[in-house]
Structure 1
C-alpha cells in the first residue's frame, strides 16, 4: 500500500508564481544546482529533439533514451501521486559525445554547421519536485523529489537489443535552502536492470509505492537532536581521511565511507563558512548540519556516483548518531 502523504500546511505553503502559459506552479530554489561537477543544464525538449540516441553496435537497435526515461518516471509519479503538483524536470548532463553526419566527414571542425553536428550526453540526471508535499526540519523546507540517473557508460553497447540496460532511480527530499538531496536506502534503486520501457515503468512504480517518507523524515529529524563538539568533529574528519588509506582487511570491518579527500576538504571548509550549516560559536555542530555538509560536498561528484554517495551520507550520519546514543561503537568517533 502507498504510504499516506504529508501535505503542505498553511504556514509552510510555498510561494506561487504564474507562468507565461497561465499555469500556476511553486517556485523552486535557483540559488544553486542540485549537482555541479562538470554538468550543464538541459531542457527536456532538447533531449527529445536534438540529441541522437545510442544504439547497440551489433544490430543498430536503439537503447531506451534519456527522454523516455524521464517521461516514464513522470508517468509513474503521476500514478502514485495522483492529484499532487509535479513540476517540470530539472535536468543536468555531462560527458558529451560529439559526432557529425556522413556528408560532413571531411570538413574542419570549425567549419561545421549546426545541422551537420550530432550530440548526446553519456550521463544524465534529473529531478521531479513535488512542491505540494513538504515538511520542515530545523527551519529547512524539504520538498518530496523523484529522479534518476541514466549513464550509458554502464551499458554494454557492443551487444544486441535485449541486453540489460542500467538505470538509477530514487525518491527522497530536496532541501530547498541549498538544493541538497536527501536520499536513503529504501528510496533508491542503485541498479535497475531492464530491456524494455514497460519493465522500467514497473521498477519505478514499485520503488515509489514502497518508499516510506514518514520513516525517512523521522530519521532526518532525529539528526537535529544530537551535536558533536569541535574536537569530535576534528576526530571524525581525521578518521574519514584515514579510512581511505586503511589496509583492505581493516576496511572490511568498518562501515564504508564513499567520500574522498576533495569532498572532505569541502566539509571542513563549510564547517566554518557555510551560511546555513556552519558550526555554532562554541564549535558544536548538529548531526543534521553535518549531514547537510556531506550532501553539499556531494555536488562536486560525477553523475554516475552521485546517488550512491547521497545514500551513504544518510547511513553515515545515522551511524554516528547511534554511536553518540551508546547504541553501537563507531571507529570514526569512539
Structure 2
C-alpha cells in the first residue's frame, strides 16, 4: 500500500506543476487578444481546451528534459525548485523509460487536442494550431536532444524565449479566432526580452554542473553576476518597450508595471549570490516574478476592458 502514494508523489514531483503559470499565462494572454480581435467574448470551451494544451505542453517539456538531462542532473549539487530537473531520475524514484513514455503520451495528446481545436474552429487559420503544436515539440527537441541540443551549444535560452513568449500567445490568439495577419507583434516585442531574462535566470543555479557537463548556458559563458545583470537589462528593455507593446492592444502603461520593475530591482540587489546560496534562490524567484507579473498585469488589464 505504501508504494502507491510514493509513486504518486514521484509523479507529482516529476510534473513540476509550479512551472505551469509560465505556460498558462502566455496562452491566456493570446486568447484575450484573439477574442478581442475577433470582436467577441472568450469562448469558454476553447479556453479550457487551450489551457489543457498548455498543461500537456508543460508536462511534455519537464518529462522530456528530465530524460535528456539526467546525466547533467546527477552532477548537480545546487539544484533549486526552479532548476536542476525534478530529481526523480537522479534519486531513482522513477525510471527513464517511464518518464520517456509519459513525454511521448503528452506529445501525442497535445497534437490531438490541437487537431480537435482546429477541426472545431474550421477557419483558414485553424490548421496553424497543429503546426504550432508541432513547433512546440520541435523546439524542445532542438533544445535538449541530438543532433542540435542547443542548450549545450548555446542558444537554449533563445529557444525558451521563442517557445513561451511567441508560440504560446500566437496559439491562444488563433484558437480564439484571431486573424494571424493582424496579430499585434509589437506586444511580443515588449514581452520577449523579459521572457529571455527569465530563461537566463533559471540557468544561474546550475552553472557549476552545466560547466562540468559542457553545457554552454549564458551563466557558464559569462559568469553568474554578468548573466544576472543581463537579466536586469532585459527586463528594463521590456519596461522601455511597454508603451509600444501595450499600445498595440489598446492599453497604456500603468501601475501594473511597478511589480515587474520592483522584481527586476531585487534581481540586481540580491548579491553576492553564488550557486547554492539563499540569495541566488531569491534572485531566480525575483526574475520569474518579473516576467510573470509583466504578463499577468497585461492579462488583467485586457480582461478588465
| TM-score, normalised with respect to structure 1 | 0.28
Question: Whose radius of gyration is greater, 1 or 2?
Answer: 1
RCO higher in 1 or 2 (8 Å CA, sep ≥ 6)? 2
Q: Please state which structure has a larger fraction of its residues in helix.
A: 2
TM-score (norm 2): 0.30
Task: Point out the structure with the larger strand share.
Answer: 1
